[in-house]
Amino acid sequence: MPTSNGASGGAERRPSRTSKIVPVADRSEILAALESRLGHVFRSRELLDDALTHRSWANEAGGVSHYERIEFLGDAVLGLVTADWLFELHAGRAEGELSLRKSMLVSEDALASYATKIALGEGLRLGAGEERSGGRLKASLLADVLEALFGAVYLDAGFEAARRVVRAYLESASELPLEQRAVDPKTTLQEQVQARGWPLPVYSVVEESGPDHDKIFTVEVRIRGDLAGRGIGRTKKGAEQAAAGGALAVLDSLPASLASEASAASVVSAASPESVASVDGPQEAPSDSSAG
């Protein structure tokens, strides 16, 4: 079984005095309650702590792991379990409908809503700045950490345990009718592209700038190879949402058949940097490189 991402054992290191310090006994009770709501008791509390630790807390404490590597794994676990669950639940449904349902179930809104339901924010370890900015209630952060928890369960007890935890989430998230769930620009773009019978949009990061703790990402989205939109955000997912919003604005101008060089050039002009959209708000979250 894989192990944690290098967290150190022993006594817990603590960040600056301006961070929220929770007594060890109280934190143990908080984590036990969270495990109960999540549906998994960790063999390794260290893994659970890693999944609940924000980079800001780790930077202030020094030598402490944070959730981002485990989130990468959890995102993959979530995607596989969701696809398997939908394939089993909706036998005979078309790929396009399955993809749309999957995109909604793994969306930031759905993940953050469930994270709030299980009071995930109570267990977070945040640095002083993130604490002051309301990180415990931030949708993008809650969604990321929930994915990290899925990854931590996999590391702690294997795929079947992770499947049980993710399926509990999916059953909760699927209680709302499909049409009542929040639809973001990426989902809307995917739906409209599929309605035209085109391949799914492809997203790629074309630029990263800024220090590690304050990155700015630039993402382009291409539809059938044509540049359709470009977006900027403080996370890859946020930039993808912005790019999708830009693509929606010019979608009707895309040629119905494969574009010629001239028509492709006109699309690039329509999505030029001068008209780049940006996302800095609650749509942000870590990301994969393709739709769905």
Distance CA 28, CA 128 (A): 21
* Nearest Cα to Cα of residue 76 among 291, 288, 283: 288
Q: Is 212 a catalytic residue?
A: no
* Nearest Cα to Cα of residue 229 among 215, 219, 217, 214: 219
Distance from chain centroid for Cα 95: 22
> Out of 147, 156, 226, 284, which one is annotated catalytic?
147
Instruction: State residue 205 phi and psi, 5-degree precision.
Output: -80, 120
Q: Which amino acid is at 104?
A: M
CA dihedral 98, 99, 101, 107 (to 10 degrees): 160
Q: Beta-carbon neighbour count of residue 270 at 10 Å?
A: 17
> Out of 75, 108, 109, 220, which one is annotated catalytic?
75
Q: Is 147 a catalytic residue?
A: yes
Report, as residue numbers or ranges, the catalytic residues.
75, 147
